[in-house]
Amino acid sequence: MTRNIERMRTRLQSLGLALRPHVKTCKNIDIARQLTAGQPGGVTVSTLAEADYFFENGITDILYAVGIAPGKLAAVADRMARGMALRIILDHPQTATAVARAAREFDTRFRVLVEIDADGERAGLRADAPELIEIASILDAAGCHVDGVMVHAGGSYHCPDADSMQQMAETERASAVAAAERLRQAGHAAPVVSVGSTPTATFARDLTGATEVRAGVHVFQDLVQAGLGVCEIDDIAISVLTEVIGHRSEDGRLLVDAGWMALSRDRGTADQPIDQGYGLICSEDGEALDDIIVTGTNQEHGIVGRRDGSPLNLDTFPVGTRLRVLPNHACATAGQHDGYWIVGSPDQARRWLPRCRGW
């Protein structure tokens, strides 16, 4: 984990950019402190529960990077009144109108980034959309801060190679910068140009005009990132410890006591060249057993077999053998647990790091 954090820090330093880590992956303050060391100190969150948890632990500069729901504006105003420097995002004039109404109702000058779309994957306005200026005007008239733009190119998760990943990073950057320029030409300060995802942050060659990069899953990495070429299998810093509870002699598979409750149902590698099932099996000390994966899950059962379906030699995995499972998607698997046991560093053995959860 420390190596992953260092690598991203070095990378962004070479691009001259600050990291605003997305702490939805780790949801833990000790790890967030390691991520923000030597950085401006702000973080990105995906829920107000995360915002509260990190604020209680001393982080004040928080970007809530999911389009704000009007029903949450009272909660946002409350947190700002208590000193949280909380920024929200939105991409629709209806939301801007709701924010303007709430600004008057709660006497709050909300701090807003307009979400920009680079790839049609999820949310955001295209950089040339007329609504961009309409939204900024609505917010400005209500005394809110139009602080700039935010973009997330989720399309980076479908890029087959480094070239297309670099191109996606450039599309992400160019969209955000163009949108910010339009806001500035319309008289808004728009100091913030927030870009990123772990894949684009890893592959970007130039991020001129951006002011901060968001990345989060790089802290642990996972099989999806390895499949994208963002990391190696050996960089994956999170696993689920499990134990063999039975043998399926009819098809040469093992039963283990980690099912989808422990691993999550994420099948993020299903569409990648190497399908890792519900996770790749390692020995207890963390050595990957290459083609042995979790082929199926129930709530508390996992079925483990070879990727090609050929039978395992069950004698080498007696009942009681402990194994580790590397996850497809670190955010999803970590989300199934209340915290982390630190292993691999003698002085930190069995140290427990809790996670926040909920909304």
Chain residues binding its own copies by CB under 8 A are 24, 46-47, 66-72, 90-92, 94-95, 98, 120, 122-123, 154, 243-248, 250, 255, 257, 260-262, 264-267, 298-301, 303, 318-320, 322, 331-332, 335-338, 357-359
| Least CB distance to its own copies at residue 237 (A) | 19
d(CA 221, CA 330): 7
| Least CB distance to its own copies at residue 159 (A) | 17
Q: Measuring CA to CA, which residue among 325, 264, 322, 262 is closest to residue 293?
A: 325
CA distances 250 to 26, 119, 306, Å, are 40, 47, 14
Question: Which is closer to its own copies, CB of 15 or CB of 49?
Answer: 49
What is the DSSP code (8-state) at residue 156? G
| Least CB distance to its own copies at residue 193 (A) | 21
Question: Which is closer to its own copies, CB of 61 or CB of 243?
Answer: 243
| Least CB distance to its own copies at residue 38 (A) | 27
| Least CB distance to its own copies at residue 124 (A) | 8
Q: Are residues 315 and 225 in contact, defined by beta-carbon separation less than 8 angstroms?
A: no
Question: Which is closer to its own copies, CB of 38 or CB of 318?
Answer: 318
Question: Which is closer to its own copies, CB of 90 or CB of 142?
Answer: 90
Q: Count CB neighbours of 17 within 10 A.
A: 20
CA distances 167 to 28, 156, 227, Å, are 33, 9, 18
| Least CB distance to its own copies at residue 15 (A) | 25
Question: One-letter amino acid identity for 117?
Answer: D
Question: Which is closer to its own copies, CB of 5 or CB of 303?
Answer: 303
Question: Which is closer to its own copies, CB of 308 or CB of 338?
Answer: 338
d(CA 156, CA 119): 9
Question: Which is closer to its own copies, CB of 109 or CB of 248?
Answer: 248
d(CA 281, CA 306): 10
| Least CB distance to its own copies at residue 95 (A) | 5
Question: Which is closer to its own copies, CB of 17 or CB of 35?
Answer: 35
Question: Which is closer to its own copies, CB of 227 or CB of 259?
Answer: 259
What is the DSSP code (8-state) at residue 25? T
Q: Count CB neighbours of 1 within 10 A.
A: 21
| Least CB distance to its own copies at residue 274 (A) | 19
What is the DSSP code (8-state) at residue 311? P
Which secondary-structure segment (H or E) carries 194? strand 192-195
Q: Are residues 54 and 43 in contact, defined by beta-carbon separation less than 8 angstroms?
A: yes
CA distances 50 to 37, 90, 185, Å, are 19, 19, 35
Q: Angle at Cα 252 formed by Cα 250 and Cα 254, nearest 5°? A: 110
Question: Which is closer to its own copies, CB of 104 or CB of 122?
Answer: 122
**Helices marked H in the chain:** 2-14, 29-36, 48-56, 73-81, 93-105, 131-141, 162-185, 198-203, 223-228, 260-263, 330-334
| Least CB distance to its own copies at residue 316 (A) | 13
| Least CB distance to its own copies at residue 234 (A) | 25
